Structure 1
C-alpha cells in the first residue's frame, strides 16, 4: 500500500465537572470540538472525527456538531466514528446527514455501526426501537443502516399527496435534502472479519478501531490487517462504482516536551490486551507513546496502519484545545514525514 496517509483526530468528547478537566460541561465539549476541528485544519490535518455515545457525558447528538464544524472550516473532512444505528431513525438520519453535508460542502465522512456496549441496558428501547421478531439488536442496526443507505442514495419511495401544501416534482418523493455523493462517504465500523465482509457487500467504506473480535490469537495489528484484506477481497466481487477507503484508529503520542513526559511517558498499554466484551473474546490494540525516533520505529511494524489509507488519532479532549493541537502538531511534524505519511 502507498505509505501516504490521511491523518485525522478522533475525539470521544468527554466532559466532566472536575477541577482538572478543561471540559467541565457539555457546552465546553461541543464548542471545543469545533475549535479543535478549526485548529486541525490550520495544521494541515485531513479529518476531524467524533465518537457518539448515548446516556453518557460525551458527544451524543452528532449532526448539530458536524454542521457547526463544517460551517467553521473549509477543507478538512468532518466525520463520526461511529453512530450507533440501533438508536437511529433511518430517515431522520438521512435528512440530518444530507443537511449537514450540504453545509459542509460535501465533506462529511459518516461512520455508522451496531455500536458498542452502552451506559444503560438496551438503551435503544428508550429511543423507541425494538428488534423485530427473530432479530438481534445487531440485526436491527443493520436493518436501520440499509434503509438509511437507500434514503441517502436518493431513492424515491414516498407516495405524494394529491393535494399537497406545495407543488411536488413528478413521481414518488425522496427524503430531502439530498446531498449528491454522500452515499460513497458512509463507513461501517466493523468489529470482526464477517462484519467487514458485510460492509464490503453493502458498498460501505471500512472503519476499524482499537478493538476487534479475537479470531486467531495473533497480535491485534495482524488480525486487523487480515480484516482489511478480507474487506478488500470481498469488495472486489462487486461493482460499487468507487474505490473503498479504510481507516484505523490509534492512540499515538509523540513525547517532545516536559508536559508530554508528565502525561504520557511510561503510561498507556504498551501491549495488546485480550478479554471479553458481552461474552465475545476480544483483542484491544496497544497504545503508542514515546520519543519521536522510537515511535517511528514502533509504528513501522504496525501492519494494519500500513494497509489502511486513513489513520485516526484518538485525542484526550479533556486536556483542552491548545494541548490537543500540540499533540496533533507533534505527530504531523515529527512522526508522519519520517513514515512517509506526509
Structure 2
C-alpha cells in the first residue's frame, strides 16, 4: 500500500491554451483540485514553492484555505526554500495552517533549488553568516525552525505587557502539537538525506538528484532512501520514517491523453548540470497504456522503497483534466501495483 498525492508547481501564463491565465486562477484552482482529489480518494495535496516566478510562491495562505475546505487529505509542500524564510515567522504561519487543517500539514522544506534570479534570498533581506554558504544558511534556518516548533519558551517576557503573560519564558504562538514530527526534507544528495534522518525529518526525494555513481536514476534514488532509513534507525527515533518520491506518471486511456503525453513514452533519464558545477540526473517520465505502465513502474526501485508517491500534474490544463489524470492512476494503475486494494 502507498499513499498517493499530487504535486503542483502552480504555473500560470497568458498562453491561450492554459486554464490558468493568472495567479488568481492558479490559487483558486489549486483549492478546487485539492477538494476534488480528496473526493476521489487521493491521500495528499502538495504544492511547489518558487519565488520571482509565475508559479505558486507563498504557501501558507493556500495551505490554510485547502485545510479549511477539506477534512481528510494530507496537505503540504515540496518544497519551501529555507534560504528565503524567517524561521520564527514561519513557525507562526505553519502552526496556524496546521491548526486550521486539524493536524494534516506535511511540510516539505529544503535548502533550495536553482532560482529565477541570482541570490534571490538577498532581496528578502537574508545573508549567509561569515564562513557560510547559502546552502549552509538554508540548513541552519531549517534547524532553527525545527527547534522553535517544539513549543519550548525562549523569549524574555515584558514586565509591563499589554496582556498578562504565563510564567516563564514565552514560546511562539500558536503552538501546534505534533507538527515538529511532520516536517520533511527535500534531499538532492545522499549526504543530506542522512542529515535529514539524523535530525528527525522525513525524506522527500524528487525527480532530480546529484549524480553520485552513474547508475540509473531510480537505482540511485533507492540507494539514497536506504541510506536514509539506516541513518534514521541509527539515530534511534521512536516513530517510523516516511519517504516520498515524485514522479510524472500518465496512464494513456483516451486520445486526449495520447495527444498530451504520448511522446513521454520514449523518454529516459537525463544528465545535466545545475548551479553551474553540479552534475545531476533527472528521472524519466512514465506515460503508457495502463498494463504497460504497471510493468514499467514495477521495476522502479525507488518507488518500492517509498511509502508515498507524489504525482506531478500539469496544473495549466485545468482541474477537470487533472482529476481525470489522477483518477486514471487510482483506477487503472494503483491496484495492479499493490498501491491500492
TM over 0.5: yes
Q: 2:296 aligns with which of 288, 295, 298?
A: 298
In the alignment, structure 1 segments of 5+ residues that lack a partner are none
4+ runs of 1 displaced by more than 3 Å? none
Q: 1:286 aligns with which of 264, 284, 287?
A: 284
User: Aligned pair 1:312/2:295, yes or no?
Assistant: no
Paired residues in the alignment total: 339
Aligned to 1:83: 80
Rounded Cα–Cα distance in structure 1 between residues aligned with 2:164 and 2:2: 47
Give 1:268 deviation, angstroms.
6.2
Give 1:19 deviation, angstroms.
1.0
How does 1:118-137 map onto structure 2 within 5 Å? 118-137=115-134
Rounded Cα–Cα distance in structure 1 between residues aligned with 2:264 and 2:197: 37
The answer to which of 230-239 and 286-295 deviates more is 230-239
Rounded Cα–Cα distance in structure 1 between residues aligned with 2:265 and 2:21: 24
Map Cα deviations across residues 212-242 of structure 1 (whole Å, 9 max, x no partner): 0000000000000000000011111123321
SS for the counterpart of 2:231 is helix
Contact 1:79–1:109 under 8 Å retained in 2: yes
Give 1:243 deviation, angstroms.
1.1
Aligned to 1:276: 273
Rounded Cα–Cα distance in structure 1 between residues aligned with 2:50 and 2:177: 28
Aligned to 2:326: 328
Rounded Cα–Cα distance in structure 2 between residues aligned with 1:249 and 1:137: 25
User: Aligned pair 1:339/2:337, yes or no?
Assistant: yes
Query: Could you tell me the TM-score, scaled by structure 2's length?
Result: 0.98
Aligned to 2:203: 206
Rounded Cα–Cα distance in structure 2 between residues aligned with 1:220 and 1:213: 10
Map Cα deviations across residues 18-45 of structure 1 (whole Å, 9 max, x no partner): 1111000000000000000000000000
Aligned to 2:24: 27
How does 1:26-175 map onto structure 2 within 5 Å? 26-175=23-172
SS for the counterpart of 2:184 is strand
Give 1:266 deviation, angstroms.
2.1
Rounded Cα–Cα distance in structure 1 between residues aligned with 2:224 and 2:54: 32
Aligned to 1:266: 263
Aligned to 1:196: 193
Q: 2:184 aligns with which of 183, 187, 212?
A: 187
In the alignment, structure 2 segments of 5+ residues that lack a partner are none
User: Structure 1 residues 96 and 313 mapped into 2: Cα distance closer, same or farther (>3 Å)?
Assistant: same
